[in-house]
Amino acid sequence: EAQPYRNISLGSSLSSLDNSASWISPSGEFSFGFSRIGDNLYVGVRYEKIPEKTLVWAANRDRPAPPGSTVELTNNGLLVINDANGKPFFSIGGSSGGSAITQAAMLDTGNLVLQSSPGSEFKWQSFDSPTDTILPTQTLSVDYKLYAPMSPTILSTGRDYIVMQSDGNFVSYSDISEPTYASNTDGTKGRLVFDESGKISIFQWEKNTTVEITPASRIPKPSKDFYFRGTIDNDGIFRLYNYPKGRSNSWSKSWNVIWETQDSSCEMPGICGQNGYCVGKNKGFDCLCPSGFSYADANNKVLGCNQDVPIIDCGQYNPDDYGLETIDNVNFAGGDYAVKSNIDEAGCRDWFLADCYCTLAVYSDSNCYKKRMPLRSGKVAGGSKAFVKVSLDNSSPLEGGGPSNITSNGRSNWSRFGVVKVVLFVISVTIFILIIIESIILICHRRRNVHRQEKLVGSMQPEIKLMRFSYKELEKATRNFKEKLGSGSFGTVYRGMMVFTYGQKPIAVKQLDKLMENGDKEFRTEVSVIGRTHHKNLVQLLGFCDEGSHRLLVYEYMEQGSLSSFLLGSIRPEWNTRVQIAFGIARGLMYLHEECSTQIIHCDIKPENILLDGNLIPKISDFGLAKLLRHDQTKTNTDIRGTRGYVAPEWFRKMAVTVKVDVYSYGVMLLEIICCRKTVEINMMNEPSGILVDWAYDCFVGQQLETLVEHDEDAKNDMKKVRKMVMVALWCIQEDPSLRPTMKKVTQMLEGAVDVAIPPNPSS
């Protein structure tokens, strides 16, 4: 049996091959040593007298030790993990003040400390480097955080955390920096205190007051009969646990939850990742995938689900070839690209099936919601039904679910044999009639194409082939402008479906409502210019309408919506995806500025005007429209407190507007892409980070760029690229337009073709 240690001398070591090896506190309640959890080997502090020896602090949570490792307090006073060959693998701690370390100690509080002499101050302590748990007598000072583990068996730093904020609030956040709990104790600075009685409170030293966080009625008495711990679990919920030291009539011999920041794991935003949905299971939760999806990692379901089914060829789409699989009592939060109200379930099914581009829809409270991919924050929701589109030739049951409930257009499917007999009978009876009808349709179709070709704008180049639509055609295509996608400075955008020679295709119809008076000639001229553009990163203009007072533009439809909703959604987009989006936008702007036959200045670059297709390729929208606005619409309100937004300073100084105004706007947007946040946070205006462009420069000068991507591990592992992109952005937002690079040079700097010099203060 391992012996208690009061002082651990230099040269002492523990081997992972010896299961009994540990450094134990004087009371025997805590120990330090190796713990195997799942397939991983960790070194840390644990409750020694509990049968499962619960690990409460893992020194190497992000770097599990290799088999055969040892942990050693070296003669130099460093606590290190060595691999099986004796080579240093991971450094746990040492003196930061230059004083020599002579010993270590495992204290009865669960605190592992390094000292220069017995009874002296701690030169290093585990309490100063908390992972996911705090213990009685431990405090959390301002900005100290607890990070949730990835899973119960993978303890690496997870997506969620809880922090003692400088405003006095104890707040938990999801991986996209969305608050999920707040103690509502803001107003004065404080620190979190976990006392020996099991209570958690905030001591506000400026007021010399204590505010209790955990209700006193929840704490069992006498507290000396229980072990306690406060842990943020892998679902992002912070829980206060107790464990009876002896027999108890009221508490089971296990860790019991006595208080938690959320009642249900499934209430946590994005807990099951993209496309997954959460279900309660045995006081915990499980993540499931809809039909046609599979786990990104079956061993770590919270990473979400990938879509397995191939993208539907909408040119060949026939709703009758597809059925709907129903997931009862499930909903996905947000991500609605179209909503229809006051509709019954059968109508919702038909509306969904008719849309080739929609994979999943939700019916709830007489409303039908078409969901944008990827799906987010799926969970059990009573009264809701999720419909998943499945091919009748290749349907599959729900992952982990029961029998399939597949219907076609809301009705039970016939047997395939019965369908074949009916189809053969109908074909044999009507084949002659079908041939005649097909001939008539072909003749009419050719005449219509000839007529439409005659309606091409005469002044346009023949290769453009923009189509001129009648207002009635667009009214029909949009079902009387029913599905509104959004609105902006140029007008309102509606979704529609249009039949072309190559099949039916979704379209976006922009209804312009702020044009110059008597601007017919200008409208056709600008449409002609827009029509001659063609680039991978520009939204394609398909046609227009200039009938009477109506001015409408018809664009290709973008499935994934705007960059704004993508960046600020419930799940933080991957770093590499954001990098590629930034590069694509730069290439699109370079094309508009330098490669078009007629140079185009956008004048309104912002995330709302960047759209994403099904492959997350960015496409610039609303280019070429600035000249069409009425003069009173081009004036910009300068009375905006504390921010310049996306608007370049020369707009306010009556200077000539050049392509450099787009460069400025791109720089602001590039910072938003890097940080996944808005350029201005109204609720943070009194903080240094309130205005993004100013904060980014301060972080750059102060060599604290990691602060900009604090909760983004992929970005933090790619700080060289983060630094380069921030430097490019700072060059773009220089107040002096002559100092800003061209978009061609911006593209070259981002892609590494030219070096990026140190940028000056943008406001200097």
Annotated binding site: 510
Are the C-beta atoms of residues 277 and 362 closer than 8 Å to each other? no
Reduce the DSSP state of residue 598 to 3 states and report it.
coil
Report the length, in residues, of the chain.
Answer: 764
Sequence-ordered strand ranges (E) for 170-246:
170-173, 179-182, 191-194, 200-204, 209-212, 226-232, 238-244
Sign of CA dihedral 561, 564, 568, 573: positive
Catalytic residue among 160, 233, 604, 712: 604
Integer Cα distance of 17 and 1 in angstroms: 15
The Cα–Cα gap between 16 and 529 comes to: 71
The set of residues, in sequence order, having a beta carbon less than 8 Å from that of 660 and lying 6+ positions away, is 648, 650, 737, 738, 740
Q: Is the dihedral of CA 154, 157, 159, 162 positive or negative?
A: positive
Place of tokens 């219907």: 407
Asked, as a colleague might, if the bond just before 222 is cis with ω within 30 of 0, I would say yes
- Using CA atoms, how far apart are residues 318 and 265, in angstroms rounded to an integer? 40
How large is the greatest C-alpha to C-alpha distance in the chain, in angstroms? 103
- Which residues are CB-neighbours of 639 under 8 A, at least 6 positions away? none
**Strand runs labelled E in 428-481:** 467-468
- What residues form the annotated binding site for ATP? 510
What distance lies between CA 11 and its chain's CA centroid? 47
User: Per the structure block, which two tokens stand in for 139?
Assistant: 């405090």
HSE value, Cβ hemisphere, 13 Å, CA-based, for 697: 17
What is the identity of the amino acid at 96?
S
**661 Cα distance to chain centroid:** 29
Owner of token pair 């006595």: 258
Cβ atoms of residues 114 and 101 within 8 Å: yes
In contact, 63 and 69? CB cutoff 8 Å: no
**Can you name the residues that pair with 212 across neighbouring β-strands?**
201
Which residue's entry shows tokens 């074949």?
420
To the query of whether residue 604 is one of the catalytic residues in this protein, the response is yes
Q: How many other CB atoms sit within 10 Å of the CB of residue 682?
A: 10
- For residue 445, the one-letter residue type is H
Residues that are catalytic: 604
